Amino acid sequence: MPENLNLLENVHIGLEAPSNHGLTNLVKGDYLYYHYLCDGLDDRGWGCGYRTLQTLCSWINKINKNVSVPDIPAIQQTLVKIEDKPNAFLGSRNWIGTVEASMVIDTLYDVPCKIIHVNSGSELNSIVPSLVEHFISKGSPLMMGGDTDCSSKGIMGTHSCDSTNYLLVVDPHYYGGTVNSKTLQSRGWIKWVAVNDFLDSSFYNLCLPQLCSNQ
């Protein structure tokens, strides 16, 4: 991974919760915001899973500095090395999802990940208590993806008020010039999404690194 990428840190900070009451639980510790083209590699249309994985790795790297954040070729090499992917995967534009992310994190950092699967977006409300417990007990960022909704996204927190649950989404699909966190938030790249707004037609997998924050 090239040095001095000048990536933004903790891009969710300053974003107001969906309501001024209710319960909010957020990621603990620091992470970097990886997104399309952030290291000069044009991965638009296929690299969102890699970028979300890199964001998770940047959080782990703050605790375990023995392994740096892998670039996309290194992620592909890792998956080929552990025989999850064939050699043809190297240099390809093939997507990765939460399961591959968990394998890379386990291999590079010796950090196991918990995978939570729901068959439909309509089932996401049922797992919010597990996500809340994760942010309380571990504090690591999550990776989320699906099939119909195949856009990978980082999850940095939960908010529950009355009968509505929200997830704090950090979207890796941004590309363009240098911006600040406030601009990303105002443009919707960092936002709270009501759980009911996720697609009923899509299954979802969430990857939860099982490493406790040092904060």
Residue 5 lies in a domain: no
**Host domain of residue 130:** 23-209
pLDDT of 149: 87
Residue 97 lies in a domain: yes
Residue 15 lies in a domain: no
Q: How confident is the model at residue 64 (pLDDT cuts 50, 70, 90)?
A: confident
Average pLDDT over residues 177-187: 94
Residue 51 lies in a domain: yes
Whether 171 is a known active-site residue: answer: yes
Average pLDDT over residues 202-214: 95
Q: How confident is the model at residue 5 (pLDDT cuts 50, 70, 90)?
A: confident
Of the residues 38, 48, 57, 207, only one is catalytic, namely 48
Q: How confident is the model at residue 201 (pLDDT cuts 50, 70, 90)?
A: very high
pLDDT of 58: 97
What confidence tens digit (pLDDT) does each residue in 66-122 have? 889 999 999 999 999 999 999 999 999 999 999 999 999 999 999 999 999 999 999
* Structural domains counted in the chain: 1
CA angle 138, 141, 143 (to 5 degrees): 125
- Tell me the residue ranges of DSSP E strands in the chain: 23-26, 113-118, 142-146, 153-161, 164-170, 190-194, 204-209
Q: What is the CATH number of the domain that holds 177?
A: 3.90.70.130
Residue 86 lies in a domain: yes
Of the residues 35, 43, 171, 207, only one is catalytic, namely 171
Whether 117 is a known active-site residue: answer: no
Coil, helix or strand for 21? coil
Share of the chain above pLDDT 70, in %: 98
Residue 54 lies in a domain: yes
Closest by CA position to 198, among listed 119, 105, 100:
119
pLDDT of 20: 87
Whether 43 is a known active-site residue: answer: no
Residue 3 lies in a domain: no
Residue 214 lies in a domain: no
What confidence tens digit (pLDDT) does each residue in 157-178 have? 999 998 899 999 999 999 988 8
pLDDT of 65: 83
pLDDT of 3: 54
Across 1-10, 38-47, 206-215, the highest mean pLDDT is recorded for: 38-47
When the pLDDT of each residue in the chain is averaged and rounded to a whole number, the result is: 95
Closest by CA position to 48, among listed 167, 194, 184, 149:
149
